[in-house]
Structure 1
Amino acid sequence: MTIRLGYGTNGLTDLRLGDALALLADLGYEGVGLTLDHMHLDPMGPDLLARTRQAAARLQALGLGVTVETGARYVLDPRRKHGPSLLDPDPEARAARTGLLVRAVGVAAELGAHAVHCFSGVMPLGTAPDTGWERLTGALAPVLDAAERAGVPLAIEPEPGHLLGHLSDFHHLRALCGDPEPLGLTLDIGHCQCLEQASPVDCVREAAPWLRHVQIEDMRRGIHEHLPFGEGEIDFPPVLAALDALGDTGYAGLTVVELPRHSHAGPELAQSSIEFLRKHTPPSH
C-alpha cells in the first residue's frame, strides 16, 4: 500500500519520546505525528534547538517521517485547555499562540517535517463571526510567512466545536487569506464521520488538492470521541482505498493514528492499530 502510516505521540504520553519512536519503528510505522508538549520536545523549554536536532537524528536513524502537531492541551496555559487560542479577545494572548506556531514551524524545518498542524480554537462567547475570522486571519499571517520562508506547509484542521469546524470553513479561510501557497489542510477521518454531510470517502476526495496531513481513528456520528478501530461506525476499507489513491494526486504525507485519550494503553493500541489498518487496506490499484 502507498499509505504512509504514523502514530501520534499524544497517544503515547506515558513513554519517553525516544522510547515512543523506537516502538513505532519496531511496529512498522513509517512516521510519527509529534505533538510538541512538556513530555515530548517541550517547545517552551530550554535548549530547544539542541533537543530538536537530537530528535531529528533519532528520527533519521529510525527511518521515520514526521509531522509536527500543536494540539497540546496545556502547553501555554496550565489552567485553560488549548488556551490561549488564535481567537482570544486579548491581542497579547493571541500573539502567544501565534508565537508557538511560528516556533513549531522552526522545529518542523529542523526535523524535516512534512507539515505543521494547527486548529483555529473555539469562538469566545459573544464574539461575532466576522470578528472571529478577522482575529484568525490576523493571527495566522505571521505563521504563514514563517511557513513560506521555511518551506514547511501549515495544515489547519477542521475541529468539531471550533470556528473552523467544517471543510467548507477551510475554504472560507483560504479565500480570506488570498489562497496563500503555505496554507493547507489537515483532514481527520473521524471528524468527517462525526459532522460532515459528505461521507469520509467523499471528504478524502474533495480535500485532496489541499491535503497536507491526515489523522485517522474510529468515531460515531454526532459524537466527538476518538475511538480505537472497530469501536465506531466508519467503514474503513473504502476510506483506506481513497487514502491509498492519494498518491496519484501527489500527497506524500503521513496518515497518523490519533488516539489522544488512550495513552494508558498506547503501546498495545499502536500495535493493534497498524494491524487493523494493514488488514483493511485493499491492494493498491
Structure 2
Amino acid sequence: MIRFGYGTNGFANHRLTDALDIIAGLGYSGVALTLDHHHLDPFAPGLARRVAEVADRLRTLGLAVVIETGARYLLDPRRKHAPTLLDDDRAERVGFLRRAVAVGADLGAEAVSFWSGVRPARVPPAAAWERLVAGCAQVLEHAGGMPLGFEPEPGMLVDTIAGWRRLRKALGEPEGFGLTLDIGHCRCNEPDPVPDCVTAVAGHVVNVQIDDMRRGTHEHLEFGEGEIDFPPVLRALSDSGYRGLVAVELPRHSHAAPDVAARSLAFLRRAEEASRRLVRTGAGEGRVPTTEGGGA
C-alpha cells in the first residue's frame, strides 16, 4: 500500500501544529515539511526546543516526515529562492541545507530534498555547474546517513532526470545522493511517459512529490485538472520497490488547504485501487473519475 503524504507548503496559512493535525486527521501517512518562517523556522530562536516539540507531535499523530527546502523567501526577503547553490553568496544556501539535514535527523526524517536553483544571467553555464557540484559535495559531507533527494526542477539548471544523472556522476555517484521525483515535473519536462520515468530511476528515488500537470507548463494542478493518467504511475511506483512517502505537492492551494487535501487523498486512493486492477486484468482502466471528491 502506498504511503501518501501532504506538503506543508500547501498549508501556508495554517499554524504548523494545525496543519499536522488536519493532515493526520484526513488519513495521510506522512508530511513533506517545508522549513519556512511560519513552519519550523530554522533560524528563529529556540530551534532545538521547537524541533523536539514537532518530533513529539509527529510521533503522536503517527506521521512520517521528509524535509523540503524550497521556501520562497526564507533566506532573502527580496529574492525568491535566493541565494541558491549557483549564486555568489551560495555559502548561505549550503549552510541552510546543512541545517536542514540536522533538523531532519532530529525529526527522524526519511530524506532531505533540495534543488539547484536558476542560473543567474551573470554566471556562465560552466561556472554555474562547478558551483553546483561543489555545493552538493559540501552538503554530502555533512549528511551523515541522511538520504539526500535532489529534485530536477523546470526552469532550473538541473531540470530533468538526465541532468540529475550527470550531476550524480560528477559527484562520484555517492550512495547518499538520491532523487526527489516530482510526478508532475515528469509530465511537464521529460520526453518519456511518466510511468517509464518512474521505472527508469527505480532504486535511486528517496522522495516522491505528486501533483497533476500539463506538458510544457510548470503549474502544479489538482488531480484531474492536468494530463496525467495516475493508475499506471502508481503501479510503476509500487512495482519499483519504492516504499517512501508520496506527498501531494500543491504549493498554490493554501487558500483551500483542508478541502484540497481531502479531495487529493480521495483521488489518490481511487487511483491506487485502479492501479491494482491494472495488474489483475492486464488492461488499462482509464483516468480516475474526478467526481465524488476527486479533481477540482
Deviations along 1:242-271, one digit per CA (max 9) or x if unpaired, are: 12223xx3x321000000011001110000
The answer to whether residue 282 in structure 2 is matched with residue 283 in structure 1 is no
* Structure 2 Cα separation of the partners of residues 244 and 28 of structure 1: 19
Find the counterpart in structure 2 of residue 135 from structure 1. Answer: 131
Amino acid at match of 1:202: D
* Structure 1 Cα separation of the partners of residues 218 and 181 of structure 2: 15
Deviation at 1:227, TM superposition (A): 0.3
Query: What TM-score do you get using the length of structure 2 for normalisation?
Result: 0.91
* Structure 2 Cα separation of the partners of residues 209 and 124 of structure 1: 33
Deviation at 1:116, TM superposition (A): 0.2
- Residue range with higher mean Cα deviation, 44-53 or 185-194: 44-53
The partner residue of 1:108 within 98, 104, 114 is 104
Amino acid at match of 1:136: L
The partner residue of 1:205 within 199, 202, 227 is 199
Deviations along 1:84-107, one digit per CA (max 9) or x if unpaired, are: 00000x2xx100000000000000
Matches within 5 A, 1:88-237: 88=87, 90=88, 93-147=89-143, 149=144, 151-237=145-231
Amino acid at match of 1:179: E
* Structure 1 Cα separation of the partners of residues 221 and 203 of structure 2: 27
* Structure 2 Cα separation of the partners of residues 185 and 20 of structure 1: 26
* Structure 2 Cα separation of the partners of residues 201 and 20 of structure 1: 31
Deviations along 1:202-246, one digit per CA (max 9) or x if unpaired, are: 011011121000000000110000000011111111111112223
Query: What TM-score do you get using the length of structure 1 for normalisation?
Result: 0.95
| 3-state SS of paired residue (1:283) | helix
| 3-state SS of paired residue (1:185) | strand
| 3-state SS of paired residue (1:86) | coil
Deviation at 1:78, TM superposition (A): 0.2
The answer to whether residue 24 in structure 2 is matched with residue 25 in structure 1 is yes
Amino acid at match of 1:124: P
Q: Which has the higher contact order (CA 8 A, sep 6+)?
A: 1
Find the counterpart in structure 2 of residue 51 from structure 1. Answer: 50
- Residue range with higher mean Cα deviation, 125-134 or 40-49: 125-134
| 3-state SS of paired residue (1:82) | coil
The answer to whether residue 251 in structure 2 is matched with residue 260 in structure 1 is yes
The count of aligned residue pairs is 276
Deviation at 1:142, TM superposition (A): 2.0
Find the counterpart in structure 2 of residue 271 from structure 1. Answer: 262
Find the counterpart in structure 2 of residue 240 from structure 1. Answer: 234
Amino acid at match of 2:8: T
Amino acid at match of 1:229: F
